[in-house]
Chain A
């Protein structure tokens, strides 16, 4: 067996990978470190990495590792509240009533997320039609499957419900805002179209995972992220990188 120290320092891992893995209380296997490094390198190559405030890969090998903010381990770590269920390599699931993970206040996040320059994304591993948020806060929400064929998005604003096809929460749902009048919504890297939606304010509330505001979700959440606005090309690259990572886990 190759010693963990050699896995960490004997290969060409990025500095970000080294910092992240060092923050994991239970060291990941060498293959997982390689998958982490591939994902980070892909996001850096697509110029997504610098625009993130937080990236949570909840489908972690260990619950503590799953709650780390990859962008800045040690800052904005998610904390579990009321015992959400963790399943290794799959993510966290809420009970739909009280449980979830608490993140930082969106209004004072890492400096990228702003009123008219922001994005939020979630990767769901299971589907449920629920009129509750899967991630976010009061004015900053993603309900990945809200109704018959819609998702529900709040982007520092009121709500809009783009049509999703197929109508499922499973996969990557994201909104991005680079102006005050509209947002662009995406499912699995593909645009759902520009949605007229005037910005109002950023919720001064915790970024929730498995819940948003007063609504609690029952979907399994495998990844979540927030940051500055992303271009269509960056969103496609982000989706592709996450899809490769999830596939490697079998998630």
Chain B
């Protein structure tokens, strides 16, 4: 399974993020962490509100969105407010097989 960088969002933060996106050109759809024991991540952001770099990021009950959204030119062009919001959130490098339940066979 792949190791990818994800922002971690609460349900309320996910709703806020979706209110800031551009449905036609640069949408965000945070995915629920649905594995039973996803563990915790380590925050790698220097700008996350309420987190120091290296702080644990709880994952149970959270949603995640790809860290690369904040670097994608289309997102920076079409919804800079979303990018600014995401950069206030903690992000961590996570194993997709650990945080997501297996896809339907």
Contacts and interface: CB of A to CB of B under 8 A. Distances in A.
Contacts of B64: 98
B103 interface: yes
**Would you call the interface of chain A mostly helix, strand, loop, or mixed?**
loop
Contacts of B28: 81-82
A95 B27 contact: no
Nearest to A132: B103
Interface string A95-129: 11111001000000000000000000000000000
Contacts of B75: 83
Contacts, number: 64
A162 interface: no
Contact of A131 (B23, B24, B100, B103): B103
B96 to A, nearest CB: 5
B23 A79 contact: yes
Interface residues of A, number: 24
Given A83-B66, A98-B64, A214 B103 contact: yes
A157 B78 CA distance: 38
Max chain A Cβ within 10 angstroms of own Cβ: one of B2, B26, B31, B103: B103
Nearest to A96: B2
A97 B74 contact: no
A96 B95 CA distance: 12
Interface string A63-77: 110000000000001
Given A79-B24, A97-B4, A214-B104, 19 more contacts: A77-B24, A79-B23, A80-B26, A82-B69, A83-B69, A83-B72, A83-B75, A95-B4, A95-B68, A96-B96, A97-B31, A98-B30, A98-B31, A98-B65, A98-B66, A99-B66, A132-B103, A215-B103, A216-B103
